[in-house]
Structure 1
Amino acid sequence: MESADIYRASSSFRGSFRGGSSAWRNTTVEAFSRSSREEDDEEALKWAAIEKLPTYDRLRKGILTSASKGVANEVDIEKLGVQERKQLLERLVKVAEEDTEKFLWKLKDRVERVGIDVPTIEVRYDNLNIEAEAYVGSSALPSFAKFTFNIIEGLLISLNILRNRKKPLTILKDVSGIVKPSRLTLLLGPPSSGKTTLLLALAGKLDPDLKLSGRVTYNGHEMNEFVPQRTAAYISQHDLHIGEMTVRETLAFSARCQGAGYLHDMLAELSRREKEANIKPDPDVDVFMKAVASQGEEANVITDYVLKVVSVRSTLAS
């Protein structure tokens, strides 16, 4: 009799324990799901408040999720701190060698989703000829006496006192081609074949003493119709760096020289189209793009991003 009572009591205890543990699990799951729903609802409310702002103000606000608390907070893009930028990049590119391509695809997809075409440039050069005048024979010898004599002779030639003894030297002859947008173009050739001269001509930085004939166009526009230095740049292989500047300072200086460019106008149009289509972008991607397009803040975000990617690659290379 006592054994039967003990068995029934233990069975009842096990049943109540199983029922209690099941109820505890259900309560825990419901609590977590309810908490997650509340966070999503709170983020949606904050995003709806940002959407009601004018376009200019909307480009200065974003939603950034705290890494420690997991709470979505509204942030001022122009006042992002060091820790906030670090948290943003950790969420976007946690492992650089794995997440960089995914992050770039997110940027591309966001722009293409609303039908915005990113500005591209196609460079064409037709029948390009470049000539120089050079001394030949003993006059071309690199000596101090010849150098001084050539300067005096050049002055007399400019006064039409002496006849020009320089001979024409062809550097490029009937060169034609197209540099397609969004393509990496490799220019190969033997030494002294005119590679640098061609690049300088395409960048609009050719020496004025050289004779240029032919046609160079950017999207069909001649070089005299715009300022080519604002569109293209030639970087010499003998680049000079300021030794007193750190890597971060050098990258930040380069970013500030480049500026935000057309990104602010493009982002304003992107935000307008997303609002019309009722599209909610990825909050982290949104904050990154707004920071890059903000004058003064683009250097900090881009510098942090480049350092994160480059530091990983340099570590792997070593």
Structure 2
Amino acid sequence: MNDFVPQRTAAYVSQHDLHIGEMTVRETLAFSARCQGVGYFYDLLCDLLRREKEVNIKPDADLDAFMKAAALGGQEANVVAEYMLKILGLEVCADTMVGDEMFRGISGGQRKRVTAGEILVGSARALFMDEISNGLDSSTTFQIINSLRQAIHILGGTAVISLLQPAPETYNLFDDIILLSDGQIVYHGPREDVLDFFESMGFRCPDRKGVADFLQEV
């Protein structure tokens, strides 16, 4: 179990949302956790509760109750699923069916979060997400990326996300930027340093132009 297995360490998240429409959001995440094995995430929650008790911090009531239930055996996947619902802001639709082409379920933005959540509940710590903003407006894209950012920072993972023409507020959520041109890496580094880098190369971003738009035109 402690061996390094790349297939369990990294995961690819497609731009297509493929779910079982008759399952609720909660059931979908719990099922995914059972299939993948909760591993690291469950250990992280156990450690969180232990540290809270050591410094006399009152733990989250729901999480504490689920952890006590898990101690009886067989409930680890449910604990992880419930916590992921909170991180991704899916509590409001937790008991709503995901839906498909035949009947209406959750919204497109919520479905994208479920797609990401299915992978986050597993043991993968490196996520590669392919154009997950397809078909979504800029506001929904911002909410999804913001949720993913919080989840990744909390879990200590890494996410590589490809986006086409992100809005300025969405662009500002990223820690690092990778700019590709004809299959070659033009820039890879902190978001804060990208303008200085290109200015040193002779490309200056106009004052009223968005950084993301400027980078696509360089």
**Does the TM-score normalized on the shorter chain lie above 0.5?**
no
Please, what TM-score do these two structures have when normalized by structure 1? 0.21
Q: Please tell me whether Structure 1 or Structure 2 has the larger radius of gyration of its CA atoms.
A: 1
Please, what TM-score do these two structures have when normalized by structure 2? 0.28
Structure number with the higher helix fraction is 1
